[in-house]
Homo-oligomer: A and B are copies of this chain.
Amino acid sequence: MKKSYWMWYYGDYEIYHYRELNLRRQEFGHDYPTLWYMSSPYISVKFTKDFMCDEDGYAICHANGKGVILVDFEKRYNYGEVIPLKKGGHFLSVEVFNTTGLPAAYVESDVCPSGEGWKADCRNSKPIDAGWHKWYDSKDKNPENFPFEYETKHPITVTKLDDGELYDFGKEMFGYIDIKADTTAKLEVVYGETDVEALDKENANIWEDVSGMTEYRLTQRAFRYVFIRHSEGKILSVSAEYEYLPLDYKGSFVCDNELINKIYEVSAYTFHLNSREMFLDGIKRDRWVWSGDAYQSGRINAYLFADKDIVKRTALGLIGKEPIMSHLNTIVDYSLLWIIGNWEYYFTYGDAEFLNRIYPITLKLLDFCYTRLNEHGFIVGNSSDWTFIDWAEIDKTGAVCAEQMLLAACYDAMAKIADVVGEDGAVFISKKDALIQNIEKYYWDDEKHAYIDSYESGNRNVTRHANIFAIMYDLVSDERKQIIVDNVINNPEIPQITTPYFKGYELDILGKLQRYDVIESMITSYWGKMIELGATSIWEEFDPDQTGNEHYAMYGRPYGKSLCHAWGAGSIYILGRYYLGVHPTSAGYRTFKVEPHLGGFKYFKGVVPAGNGEVRVSVDENGVMVWTNIEGGTLVWNGKEYPIEPNVELNCK
C-alpha cells in the first residue's frame, strides 16, 4: 500500500499550532491572550486530486472535521466508506469543514494516497498544493496533536519547610507535574524559575491550587522549582513528565575553556527548551512566538539543530493570513526581521519552494509596511505599532534609525528573494539605494562619527543599535565600519547592551570584523557571569551590576524576567560562524567556506551542519583539520584558499 499523509491547507497547520500555543499563556492566575492579531485556519477546505487508475483501486477517506466526498463530481461518499475506483480517470474532491480546529484529510488508497500531488482549495483563491508532513503518516496521528516526546524526571532535592516542601528539579524544565498525596485537602502548587519565586506565591508568575483528589497531573508549564504548600497530610511523590520536541544535536563546539564549554551547553539546553511547535521567546512566562526572537533563533538553529521545519513553522505561524493590517507581534522591526530571516533561511538551506510559497504574502506584508513610510521613505511606527529594537534607552522620537537600517536590509533581502522566485527585484534595489542616501543625510552625525537614533528630536542620541545593524547588514563601507567600531562599539560612553538578544548582534559584527579578543571577553564576562550566578539556562536580560534577587526582576515585577530565553543562545551561532568559521557562500551550502580562527583558544573542535551533511573542524596551535561529506567547500587558512575534497581529512599548518 502506498504511504498516505494527513493533508491541510498549506500554512494552516502552522497557523493552528501558533494560535493554540500562543493562547496557552497563564500568569498570576489569569489567561492571557496575545497582544497581537492572530489568524485561524480556513474552516472549510476542499482537497482534490485528478488522477488515472491503471487498474481498479479504492480509497477510504478520513477527516478531521465533517464533510463529504465527491467522486467524479457526482457520486457522494461519507468518511470511512470504501470508495471503489474503477480503472480510468477520476477526480476526487474531499471536502472537510471544522470550525474549531484544523480541517484535514487522510486518504488511504492504492491509487490516490493523500499528501503530495493533492490540491487544497479554501474557496477564496486558487487551489494550491496541499500542506502535509511526514510526521502525520497514519490515520490515528491527528495533525492537531504536536508530536512531543516525554521523559519522567525526578526532583534532585526536596526541602521540607514549615508549610510544605520545595522540590528542585536541578535545572529549568517543561512538562506536567505529577503529584500524589495522602490527603484530598488543598495543595497550593507554586512554580518558580528560582527558589525565591516558588516560595513567594503572591509574586510568582504561575501557581495552581488543587484539592479533592489524591493524585494530580497539572497542565504543562515551565519551572525549575515547585513548592507545594499544604496544611494537612503528606505529599507522597512529585515528578515531572518532561515534554520536548526531539531534535538532533547536529552542531557542536568544544574548546579548552571550560567556562565557554559550559556556556555552549547551557545555551544549547536553553535553545532546545524553547524550540517546540515553533521558536518561543522564553519557556516559562509568556511562551509566545515573537518574530525578532525567532529571527535570532533561526541563526542559532543553523549551527545547532539545522532543523528547517521549525523555521518554516515559525515563519508561517507568525505571518498568518491576509489581511495584514498590523505589524507582526505589533512590532515594526519584527515585520522587517521576518522578511530578512526568510532570506537567511533560504541562503542556509536552499529551499526555494518555501520562498515561492510565501512570496505572495511577503508582498502583502511589505504593502502594509509601505503604509507606515514617511516623506523620506523612513518607516515610522504609528500609535498602534511598537518600535521595539531592544530593551534599551533609545531615542524613539519619530523615525528611528535602527528601523531604517532594517528596512534597507529588508529591501536587499526582497531583491534577492524576488530573484529566486523569478520576479523582478529591481524596484527593491532602487528603494534600498534611495533609503540609504536618506539614512546618510538624516542620521549620520559627522561630529559624533555615528548614526544617531532620531533626527526629529534634536537630541542626537547615539546608541549601539543602529550602528550595529549598519555593519551587520553591510549597509556601509569598510572604512565607515571601522569608524563605527572606534566611536561606538569600543566607546565605553555609549551604554552597553543589556540583552543577550542584541549582544548576539553585537557579537556578530565583532565576528565580521574579526575582533576575537572582544568576543571572548564579552562571552566570558556576560554569559560567563550568568553561569557563575548559577544559571541553568540563559536569561532574558542581564546586568552584571545588579546583585541578588535584583536579577530576577523585570517589567516592574520581582520575578518578571524570563530565566530561560532563547535569544540567550547566540554564542552557539558566534562560535560556529566565526571560530569554526563555516558558512554558505551560495544558497543551501552549494558552495561554502570554512574560515576558522583560533582566537584566544588553545584548541577547539566542532561540527557545523551544512547542506545534506556536515563540516567538522578542529584547530589548535599547530594548525587546522577540516572534514566534510559534502561538495563545494573551501578552506581559508592563513590567507590562502584550499578546496575541500569530500570525505577526506584536510590538514593545514
Binding site for B on A (CB under 8 A): 19-20, 23, 28-38, 40, 42-44, 66-68, 76, 78, 95-97, 99-100, 122-126, 322-323, 325-326, 330, 384
Contacts and interface: CB of A to CB of B under 8 A. Distances in A.
A67 B31 contact: yes
B326 A123 contact: yes
Contacts of A43: 19, 23, 38, 40
A517 B86 CA distance: 59
Given A30-B78, A40-B99, 6 more contacts: A19-B99, A28-B76, A37-B42, A38-B43, A123-B326, A124-B325
List of 9 A-B pairs having minimum Cβ-Cβ separation, nearest first: A37-B124, A100-B100, A30-B68, A33-B97, A31-B66, A37-B123, A33-B44, A322-B323, A124-B325
Given A97-B23, A384-B126, A44 B40 contact: no
Nearest to A63: B31
A487 B125 CA distance: 42
A177 B95 CA distance: 29
Contacts of A20: 99
Nearest to A122: B37
A44 B68 CA distance: 31
Contacts of A330: 123
Given A30-B68, A66-B31, A124-B37, A100 B99 contact: yes
A628 to B, nearest CB: 46
B325 A99 contact: no
A285 to B, nearest CB: 14
A124 B326 contact: yes
Contacts of A125: 325-326
A357 to B, nearest CB: 17
Given A19-B43, A23-B97, A40-B40, A31 B68 contact: yes
B122 A33 contact: no
B36 A123 contact: yes
A122 B38 CA distance: 9
A645 B34 CA distance: 59
Nearest to A97: B33
A95 B76 CA distance: 44
A201 to B, nearest CB: 15
A29 B78 contact: yes
A205 B78 CA distance: 15
Nearest to A43: B40
B67 A33 contact: yes
14 contacts: A19-B99, A23-B43, A23-B66, A23-B97, A29-B78, A30-B78, A31-B66, A32-B67, A32-B95, A33-B67, A33-B68, A37-B44, A37-B124, A100-B100
A195 to B, nearest CB: 25
Contacts of A32: 67-68, 95
Contacts of A326: 123-125
Contacts of A42: 37
Contacts of A66: 23, 31, 33
A557 to B, nearest CB: 11
Contacts of A95: 32-33
A44 B67 CA distance: 27
A124 B323 contact: yes
A304 to B, nearest CB: 33
Nearest to A78: B30
A35 B73 CA distance: 13
Nearest to A39: B43
Nearest to A19: B99
B99 A35 contact: no
Of A68, A76, A100, the most chain B CB neighbours within 10 A belong to: A68
B123 A35 contact: yes
A30 to B, nearest CB: 4
B40 A76 contact: no
A76 B323 contact: no
Contacts of A44: 23, 33-34, 37-38
Contacts of A322: 322-323
Contacts of A100: 99-100
Nearest to A44: B33
Contacts of A99: 19-20, 23, 40, 100
A123 B23 CA distance: 15
A129 B545 CA distance: 48
